[in-house]
C-alpha cells in the first residue's frame, strides 16, 4: 500500500479466523467426515466475490488494472485464478505454490496429510487430484505471471514452480521465474534479510511494470 497500490485481502472459505464450518468448507468431496467443495471451487468463487465487492464499494479502484499475489495455498489460488479467470487480472504473482496436486503429494513433507484433507489420496482418486490442479488450466493463462520459489522448500518443493514455469515457457506465455537458493517455505517471514528485500523489490517492480503497461 505504501508503494501506491490499493491492497485488498480476502478470507475465502477454507481459511482460518471464522467458525469451524468455514475452515472445513473446502475439504475433499469424498471426505469421510465433513465433505466439502474440494480445493479450487468455493474458494475461487469467494476470492472473485471479494474482488467484485471491493470494485463496487470503492470507485477509486481501477478494475482494469488488478493484480493478484498469493503464497503457499495463496499461491495455489493465484495460479488457479490465472488459469480460470485471466480476464479479471492484469498481472499475477504465484509464490511457493502448489500447482500440480499429483506431484505435490509425491514430494511434499506433509504428503500424508492429503488423505486427511481430501479423503482419498491421488492413487485412489486421480481424477479429483487432476481437477484440483491449477496446472491443468495452464493453456488458458493469458496474464503475465511472476513465479517465486525457494530451492529448499520442503512443503511445496521447487518442482511445483519448475513445472508451471516450463509449461508456460513451452506455450510462449509471459512468465518470469525467480528461485532463491538456501531458502525454505518461510522465505517471506524468516528468510535471510537480503533475500527478503530482494523478494519485495522483485514483486513491487513486477506489479509496477505490468499494471502500468
- Write the CA distances from 100 to 85, 122, 137, 204, integer angstroms: 18, 11, 11, 27
Write the DSSP string, 59-95: TTS-TTS-EEEEETHHHHHHHHHHHH-GGG-SEEEEE
Parallel/antiparallel/unpaired status of strands 67-71 and 91-95: parallel
| Active-site annotation holder among 72, 86, 137, 195 | 72
Is 72 tagged catalytic?
Answer: yes
Burial of 82 (C-beta count, 10 Å sphere; 0-12/13-18/19+): buried
| Active-site annotation holder among 31, 122, 149, 185 | 185
CA–CA separation, 9 and 47 (whole Å): 9
Residue with cell 468448507: 25
Is 15 tagged catalytic?
Answer: no
Q: Which residues are catalytic?
A: 72, 185
Amino acid at each position: 500500500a505504501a508503494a501506491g497500490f490499493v491492497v485488498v485481502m480476502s478470507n475465502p472459505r477454507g481459511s482460518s479466523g471464522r467458525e469451524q464450518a468455514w475452515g472445513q468448507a473446502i475439504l475433499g468431496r469424498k471426505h469421510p467426515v465433513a465433505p466439502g467443495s474440494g480445493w479450487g471451487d468455493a474458494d475461487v468463487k469467494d476470492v472473485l466475490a471479494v474482488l467484485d465487492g471491493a470494485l463496487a464499494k470503492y470507485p477509486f479502484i481501477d478494475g482494469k488494472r488488478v493484480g493478484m499475489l498469493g503464497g503457499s495455498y495463496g499461491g495455489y489460488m493465484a495460479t488457479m485464478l490465472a488459469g480460470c479467470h485471466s480476464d479479471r487480472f492484469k498481472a499475477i504473482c504465484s509464490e511457493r505454490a502448489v500447482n500440480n496436486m499429483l506431484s505435490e503429494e509425491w514430494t511434499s513433507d506433509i504428503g500424508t496429510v492429503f488423505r486427511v484433507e481430501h479423503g482419498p489420496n491421488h492413487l485412489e482418486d486421480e481424477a479429483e487430484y487432476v481437477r484440483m490442479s491449477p496446472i491443468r488450466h495452464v493453456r488458458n493463462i493469458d496474464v503475465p505471471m511472476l513465479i517465486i520459489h525457494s530451492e529448499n522448500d520442503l512443503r511445496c518443493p521447487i518442482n511445483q514452480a519448475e513445472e508451471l514455469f516450463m509449461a508456460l515457457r513451452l506455450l510462449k506465455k509471459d512468465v518470469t521465474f525467480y528461485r532463491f537458493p538456501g531458502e525454505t517455505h518461510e522465505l517471506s517471514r524468516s528468510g535471510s534479510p537480503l533475500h527478503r528485500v530482494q523478494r519485495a523489490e522483485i514483486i513491487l517492480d513486477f506489479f509496477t511494470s505490468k499494471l502500468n503497461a
